[in-house]
Amino acid sequence: MVFLIPGLMIAQQTEYKIFYYSGSPLMKFKSKSEAIKRDVIIDAGATISIPQNAYVVITNKDEVPLGISKPGEYGIKEIESLYKNIGDNNLTEEFFEYIAGNMIRGDEVERKSGGVYRAVGDLMINPYDSATVISSDITFEWSNPNQRKMYLKIFDIDTWDLLADIPSTDSVYTLNAGEKGLIEGKEYAWVMAPIEGIPQDGTELLIFKIADKEYLKSFNKQLKDADKNATSDQMRKMMKLRIYIDNNVFPIPPYSEL
């Protein structure tokens, strides 16, 4: 038997849930405002406040994702209206790929708001700062539209020994971690510079880590749990993409291969 205290207002939950977000969106309910959280059901009287450079993905009871990037205040009426615009006929592979692409771009925007990216700009692209690399072959990518001769430098951040100093006029280079002596579980730094040898003082570098066996075991378990818990093939891919993003794993496979 359930008793309700007279005058006490009970929050009423809806069918909508927060699946993913990037940036700093807020959940507003009554006079309170707090950062939104993943997998939380949205209360009927709540409003999601989306600022500039934020992205939110909501799912309904049928696990259909709705991505919102336009800044504004979104209550249940606004969310329901947006869902009506989707329609069953629009739930194609391309629709889910579009949502997935926005999730990746939203994560990139959030990372690049950090101080290191304000310093290095858009020169170095991948592996991004604080990435965990799960492939033995690492593809480094940088911006080089004029095909200038640049040097790909990799440092051991424990000793600051220069482990690689590779000249290239391209914008991409793939190397094998083992052949360069990069060890599982260790962090390294990389940078592109126009000169051979040690770069000038104050040069900003991006950090990456080589995943070890324990990390890969835990990561693969998360992927298997997504395979087991997903109610549809598309949501299985979306859940696995979220795991890649949450763990800062590089590289992220194409959506169709998740």
Mean pLDDT of all residues in 62-76: 94
The fraction of the chain above a pLDDT of 70, given in percent, is 90
Cβ neighbours around 244 below 10 Å, total: 22
Distance CA 247, CA 240 (A): 11
**In the predicted model, is pLDDT for residue 47 greater than 60?**
yes
pLDDT given for residue 89 in this prediction: 62
Residues 52, 106 share a domain: yes
**In the predicted model, is pLDDT for residue 6 greater than 50?**
no
Mean pLDDT of all residues in 165-179: 96
Distance CA 50, CA 78 (A): 13
Residues 182, 138 share a domain: yes
pLDDT tens track for 210-247: 999 999 999 999 999 999 999 899 999 999 999 999 99
Among 111, 138, 160, the domain-final residue is: 111
**For the chain, what is the radius of gyration of the CA atoms?**
22
Residue 160 sits in a domain of what CATH number?
2.60.40.10
**In the predicted model, is pLDDT for residue 158 greater than 60?**
yes
pLDDT band at 114 (very low <50, low <70, confident <90, very high): low
Residue 189 lies in a domain: yes
Expressed as residue numbers, the domain containing 241 is 220-257
How long, in residues, is the chain? Answer: 258
Residue 61 lies in a domain: yes
The b/e string for 114-126 (b: 16+ C-beta within 10 A; e otherwise) is eebbeebeeebeb
Residues 136, 171 share a domain: yes
Residues 227, 195 share a domain: no
pLDDT given for residue 10 in this prediction: 42
Mean pLDDT of all residues in 3-32: 75
Among 111, 140, 160, the domain-final residue is: 111
Residues 196, 242 share a domain: no
- 42, 58 Cβ separation under 8 angstroms: yes
Residues 169, 106 share a domain: no
Mean pLDDT of all residues in 86-100: 83
Residue 117 lies in a domain: no
Q: What is the mean pLDDT of the chain?
A: 89
Residue 158 lies in a domain: yes
Residue 4 lies in a domain: no
Among 63, 79, 111, the domain-final residue is: 111
Residue 203 lies in a domain: yes
Residues 105, 21 share a domain: yes
Structure tokens that stand for 149 in this block: 């001769």
pLDDT band at 88 (very low <50, low <70, confident <90, very high): low
pLDDT tens track for 179-197: 999 999 999 999 999 999 9
**CB neighbour list of residue 70: distance below 8 Å, 6 or more residues apart:** 50
Distance CA 139, CA 243 (A): 21
| Domain count within the chain | 3
pLDDT given for residue 121 in this prediction: 53
Residue 215 lies in a domain: no
Residues 51, 29 share a domain: yes
pLDDT band at 1 (very low <50, low <70, confident <90, very high): very low
Residues 126, 104 share a domain: no
Cα 16 to Cα 70, 245, 246, distances in angstroms: 18, 22, 21
Residue 53 lies in a domain: yes
Residues 95, 17 share a domain: yes
**In the predicted model, is pLDDT for residue 8 greater than 50?**
no
Residues 21, 92 share a domain: yes
Residues 234, 161 share a domain: no
